[in-house]
Structure 1
Amino acid sequence: METFSPKQIANALNFSTTTLRRYEEQELIPVVPRTKSNHRVYTWIHVQAFTTIRAMLKGFDIPVVYDVMRLCKDARFEEALWLVNEQQYHIQVEKRRVEEILMMIQNADFTRYKNVKLTEYMSIGEAAKIAGVNTSAIRHWEYEGLVHSERNKENGYRMFSVAELRKILVISSLRRTVYYIENMKGLLNDLDTQNYNKIEHSFQLALENLNHQLLDQLKGIAELIKYINLYQEVTN
């Protein structure tokens, strides 16, 4: 059986031996054999495990990758694959959401969103539910000057107009691709003035990023399948 030292693995996969140990400590890989002098000895199953982790991290969030690898380590392969499948569903939902909000921006008669009839003013809870975000996110965006609310004269609660809801929807869709507050403020100003060219470009960029993420996810899944197949061969 061919074996490898930590340095050989690190050089081949282009990351540090510290990273190897961290992945091992996080219990993401199969148990690593030791020599009589207590040195780590890696095999091809470990090489594929490390390769899978690095590939999946390009398309999936760290907690998801770690959960998937731990499930595989325990030979719970179906659960790992269903977790990956769930993440694929989420990215499709996000793509559909971006496309819907882009259509909403282009729709001059914005009185309904996702079959919800919009009222002239909505509470922060109602706006958050429609936009699919936490109320804390909306408060943060208001603090940053991206959206503005009015106060209900009777109870002092925040109330958001339909125009501000549109801004909340735009922010929630572009926050991963528009990184600077001032850039976002510029786009929202264009939304107010109905100058949609830059906004549409930003949404197209968001869609392109989702396309890239999907490709990265599929590449990561390909390595995961190799890992599962190899793991099953080694343990059977």
Structure 2
Amino acid sequence: MTATGDSSPPKTIQIKVVGDACAGKTSLIHRYVTGEFSELVKATVGAEFHTSSAKMDGVEYPIQIWDIAGSYRTHQNVTTQFFRRSDAVMICCNASQEDYFHNVVDWRNMVTDFAGPDVPCVLTMTQIDRYVPERNWQAEFQGIAPFDGFYQTSAKDDVGVTEAFRELIRMSFTFVTTRKPTFSRTSATTSNTITESIDIKSLRENNKKPCCKKQ
């Protein structure tokens, strides 16, 4: 059985993870796909992706989780290519940085412009083991940009990481099978049943340069 009911292979689900430099994207992905945390993670140069798989309704879908360098926010030609064929997007912001919210709206606008207004998009705060804002950050962002979910995570302490990715994958399945979001823009859940089969393979390795410590 396949996603289309014929002999063609199921679509590869593309999850894009974006955010400013040192937003904790690479550490977050590394924790999810390997279950491990490393203090030695370096800044991504260019883009790379990892693969896993997940089942929905008995069909096993390959999944690509992409990590793009934060500096690419200013390179429209690069971001246009990167966001193309996205099935879901996670925007990350670093709780330990005072201006963590600075470019979130810009990233959200790029998702809308280059991936499409209906592509599921969630906002994930990283490094909450170091600092959690006292103000209601979810309400602030909900008032200025549409998001399909908000998550607080710590790759170091393994808090909220699996939950955030699993819900985003659920949203991507809904989007892929209907080509429109059937979930509320203020909700992070759908009714799809998913069984993960995590068999991660790094399909692209780039030269990396040191960055701030990520968690």
User: TM (normalized to structure 1)?
Assistant: 0.23
More helix by share: 1
Query: Relative contact order: is structure 1 or structure 2 higher (C-alpha 8 Å, sep ≥ 6)?
Result: 2
Larger Rg: 1
